[in-house]
Amino acid sequence: MNEIIGKPIDRVDGRLKVTGGARYAAEFQLPNMAYAYLVQSTIAKGRIRSMDVSKAVAVSGVLAVLTHENAPRLKTPPEDKSFESKLGEKDLLPLQRDQIYYDGQHIAVIVADTFERARDAASLIKVEYDPENAVFQMEQALSQAYEAKESFGRKAQSRRGDPDAGFAAASIKCEETYITPIEHHNAMEPHATIANWNGDELTVYDSTQWVLGTRKSIADLLGISAENVRVISPFVGGGFGSKGFMWAHPVIAAMAAKTVGRPVKLVLTRQQMFSATGHRPRTIQKIGLGATREGKFTVVSHRTTTQTSVVEEFLEPSGMSTRVLYDSPAMEVKHLLVRLNTGTPCPMRAPGEASGTFAVESALDELSYKLKIDPIQLRLLNYADKNPQTNQPWSGKNLKQCYERGAAAINWAQRNPEPRSMREGRFLAGYGMATATYPGNRSAASAKVQVLRDGSVIASSCTQDIGTGTYTIMTQIVSEALGIPVARIEFKLGDSKLPKGPVSGGSQTAASVGPAVQAAALSARSKVVKLAIADKDSPLHGRKEDEIVSKNDRLFLADDTSKGETYATILGRSQVPFIEAECQTRVSTREKSGDENTGTKKNEAGAKESGGGCFAATSDENVDREQYSFHSFGAQFAKVQVDPLLGMVRVVKWVSVMDIGRVLNLKTARNQVCGGVIMGLGMALMEETVLDPNRGRIVTRDLANYHVPVHADIPDIDVQFIDNPDPFINPFGGRGVGEIGITGAPAAIANAVYHATGIRIRELPITPDKLISA
């Protein structure tokens, strides 16, 4: 076995990134490029009475000004329940009407021969409104809250057992409310699009987490065939969910390019992104826990009220993880929505799990103090050996090992359980922990592998690399399957002309695209082996395929390594330019009563090639994978120091122990967990989007006012992996790792702050004023 999967090799695209060779969406240079700049509304609700664009049109170099009065008409997109695309705001098509639904809504676009002229012209547009009363604070609309039905196919309301009886039977109860604020993604790369028409064909360079979803959305809105739209996105400078939906700007760029008859580049400013590209919505979560005096749960309830916009329904499913985290005879999860005059929320790293685990894991900590039980012991007492919602066995779960290793690494045994009992110099010291979890998602995907005559390889799939290391791990998968060194393999992605790949969201890319890439590589290898077996001049002539192994560019007999030859020799003698295989994994989903789709998907593989079959075997081809529930788990441990006079909190030590199945690249996996933990620290201590209470306008609209962690805020992060392959998720046993790192992190910090200070903060972020005033 080549054993390249799992190795901490450097990113294969790393040199391109550090030398400027990696081109992001806004960096493509096309001849005769024009530049667009957006104008946004300054009221939260009402109508545009008039818009004076005369001064803007008069600016030298301005090519067009598009508003609702003259923009090309768009088509109403069809209802799509197959999740082949997702518009951020399907009920608000850009530049189509005079109605204003939130502050910061796009109302015009200026196109000019330079960016500076477009921006200057935008400042000259005068808009008069007929304002209406807007509602943009959740508390104003709680009386209109309604029950959500679903979130991406998962039922939003759940109940098992008798929750009322569970509370009645409880000796100890914890019933508290936890609040998380609006938060924004703030990816390093801004949202950007270049649109270029060639007759009826449109090429779009876009910063997107879903190339094919963007292609379909643009085609639907423009009323053209998806085959006439090509979307290119080779590098994405972070998305965290905000680039998984298609917002208004890509189609605005296409409309503008069509109008002026030349390529148009549209890059959103940081301020524009705050209102127009999604956010994590505010949540108010009521947690109810009931337990016996020994600590066994009698009931768990989780009621989330969160916000969406008036032009789209998006649910932050904060209670989803509560359904599966712990064993309880009774459970109730509810999700309610209120509609506000704000921009539409969208997924943000671990949507639902990040906010939900803050609430439920904080509540468990509170209950542990009431019971006088160690927080780890309370979790072990209620450990779920199978999915408590569906009774399915886990495909793999090693959470107890995560607790054990994390506790040892942070020296949990030295923790004095009494709050406010530990000091280090003038600082109060505290320890906190929480459970991390995220579903083991996967979707259908396709991939192609070509072995060229010189023995080099080109592999491809229309997936995306949003900074997670997709280029690298796919290259490792091909290398291990073929026995060809990484340096001789090129992986292509981010182009809608390539074989179909899913959205890079839900931590599913590795688990979805990886099996298709592996299957295509194995199929291509099989074809080359068969060429050698049939060739009388080959030392492998006449041997059986299962007798032949591959390593270091060579195919040779397992029992006699001297008998073999290179890929290049075999292909060169056969006079074929390349050997190619394209494979597709198909995922069928069956809803299981009382549970979401997670854990009820069945992966298969089929052929899409000439001259042979393509099959991606699991570790046991006869296993019915619908029997299993697929989730990753982990343990988060934090040590904090708190200045008792200033209320300043500093995280001084961190340990994350994760069970994500097989680790595909130790370096990139650690990087993903570190990134999640850092976002979790920001969520816990500083991140908060603030709206003007009178106008509904976002006032924290840049990185000077919206605070995110910097290097000085972050301690050394000890990341460990159990690294036990999941035998049922896919052939190589790996689940996704992009989002689990943030889950449980805010709760671990909040719990550590309570241990240090004796002050329980239930509303994020934990800022000094809250500790000082408590």
Report, as residue numbers or ranges, the catalytic residues.
Answer: 739
Pairing of strands 201-206, 192-198: antiparallel
Among residues 532, 509, 513, 510, the alpha carbon closest in space to that of 521 is found at 513
Angle at 216 between CA 213 and CA 218, to 5 degrees: 105
Euclidean distance between CA atoms 252 and 250, whole angstroms: 5
Distances (CA, A) of 633 to 154, 190, 482: 20, 32, 32
Q: Which amino acid is at 335?
A: H
Euclidean distance between CA atoms 610 and 405, whole angstroms: 50
DSSP assignment of 286-329, as one string? EEEEEE-TTS-EEEEEEEEEEEEESS------TTTTHHHHB--S
Pairing of strands 331-340, 297-309: parallel
Element (H, E) at 231: strand 229-232
Q: What are the beta bridge partners of residue 604?
A: 586
Residues 432 and 649: beta-carbon distance below 8 Å: no
Q: What are the beta bridge partners of residue 659?
A: 633
* Main-chain dihedrals φ then ψ at residue 503, nearest 5 degrees: -60, 145
Euclidean distance between CA atoms 547 and 549, whole angstroms: 7
- Total residue count of the chain as it appears in this document: 774
Among residues 467, 480, 561, the alpha carbon closest in space to that of 514 is found at 480
665 CA to centre of own chain: 18
Euclidean distance between CA atoms 490 and 350, whole angstroms: 31
Q: Which residues contact 704 (CB under 8 A, 6 or more apart)?
A: none
Among residues 686, 684, 632, 631, the alpha carbon closest in space to that of 654 is found at 684
* Residue matched to tokens 């749960």: 297
Distances (CA, A) of 659 to 61, 115, 141: 57, 48, 41
* Main-chain dihedrals φ then ψ at residue 522, nearest 5 degrees: -65, -35
Euclidean distance between CA atoms 750 and 683, whole angstroms: 11
Q: Is 63 left (phi over 0), alpha (psi -120 to 50) or beta?
A: alpha
Residue 602, judged by CB atoms within 10 A of its CB (0-12, 13-18, 19+), counts as middle
* Main-chain dihedrals φ then ψ at residue 514, nearest 5 degrees: -55, -50
Pairing of strands 631-642, 649-659: antiparallel
Residues 76 and 93: beta-carbon distance below 8 Å: yes
Q: Supply 544's token pair.
A: 């059986």
What's the sign of the alpha-carbon dihedral 682, 463, 671, 735? positive
